Amino acid sequence: MRVLAAMSGGVDSAVAAARAVDAGHDVTGVHLALSRTPGTLRTGARGCCTIEDSRDAWRAAEKLGIPYYVWDFSERFQADVVDDFVAEYAAGRTPNPCMRCNEKIKFAALLEKALALGFDAVCTGHYAKVVTDADGHKELHRAADWAKDQSYVLGVLTAEQLEHAIFPLAETPSKAQVRAEAEERGLSVAKKPDSHDICFIPDGDTRGWLEDHMELAPGRIVDTQGTELGEHRGAHAYTVGQRRGLHIGRPAPDGKPRFVLEIRPKTNEVVVGPEALLSIDVMEGIRPSWAGLPPREVVAMAEDVDGRSDEFPVMVQVRAHGEPASARAWLTRQDGQQRLCVRLDEPQRGVAPGQTMVLYQGTRVLGQATIDAAFADRAAAAAS
């Protein structure tokens, strides 16, 4: 099988490519140039996709004896990931750029080009597993090492993309074993630190980066009754659940701290209130997709313009390294638009619009949606 190995310049993708070679595949390595200013060398463990990383990937490919190329995807990355990141913050949401990168770049643009060039599959160093069910359908599952599991950020993959995805690290019990294997293979990236933070904000200062890329619009900080408590320099600098840095200047009547409850882009207001109001038990998501076949209840939903599927049990995760929570989910269709709804068995705190909710059943990833609304169903609580 002709396999295109996406090589980021890190140890995971290098070992994944090596294992693809060991499996007998005809492997070609490719590094994605995503930055418009690739001359900047990374320092420490922050960021990724720099010229330093492309050189590390080249050295790994040379050691493995496979062809190696660098593909310039910077324009696509700017439009689909960076610009989307800014637009989401401008709309009062908290986006996850890694989800968009996997969706739009690594498993859309890259796979599309790979298939056009005659490759059969794309191989990456993600910790996740593709399983084939009894009927031959592909499913996405958690990796063996739950501590390193990356199935959450792959929840955007479709059934067609799973057909052409290979994750050689799926059964690896620990990152330490990957590093040890890289050392044994003589790969220079064996001890290279993991990258972290948002790759196009390598210093980790998201607020500062946004201030440089968005027009600041001062506005009001208000309580849940609409009473003005202070002024902000730009609503994008705040996130739901934030406590520090509000600069309100006067305490709440009960003396307890206030938290950011909501960002209102239309009125450019930041709403603050007591910690108790951060708890939510209902989430509604837009742009749902299914990682393989959708649940039976979704398939059975009437094809009317408006409709609702039966509820089905799930575990839902809203952060890459968050704990999954038990819930009931259902799909609705209103005016031709699908919305994925989830009711949590136990309330969660600090869930913000723009985050991605990924649904699981056991180790299997069912699908995902971008959270559009998160709230407490107080009417249901009162009725009970």
Supply the residues annotated as catalytic.
101, 199
Distance of CA 46 to the CA centre of its chain: 18
Closest CA to 352 of 325, 326, 327, 373: 373
Closest CA to 49 of 4, 106, 133: 106
Residue 135 CB partners (closer than 8 Å, separation 6+)? none
In terms of C-beta density within 10 A (0-12 exposed, 13-18 middle, 19 or more buried), how is residue 3 classed?
A: buried
Coil, strand or helix: which one is 47?
coil
User: Are 347 and 279 in contact, with CB atoms under 8 Å apart?
Assistant: yes
Cα separation of 170 and 125, whole Å?
Answer: 9
User: Are 280 and 347 in contact, with CB atoms under 8 Å apart?
Assistant: yes
Mode of pairing for the β-strands spanning 228-232 and 219-222: antiparallel
Cα separation of 103 and 97, whole Å?
Answer: 10
Neighbours of 72 (CB within 10 A): 13
| Strand partners of residue 279 | 349
User: Which contacts of 322-325 are long-range, i.e. CB under 8 A and separated by 24 or more positions?
Assistant: 322/152, 324/360
User: Are 365 and 155 in contact, with CB atoms under 8 Å apart?
Assistant: yes
Cα separation of 125 and 56, whole Å?
Answer: 15
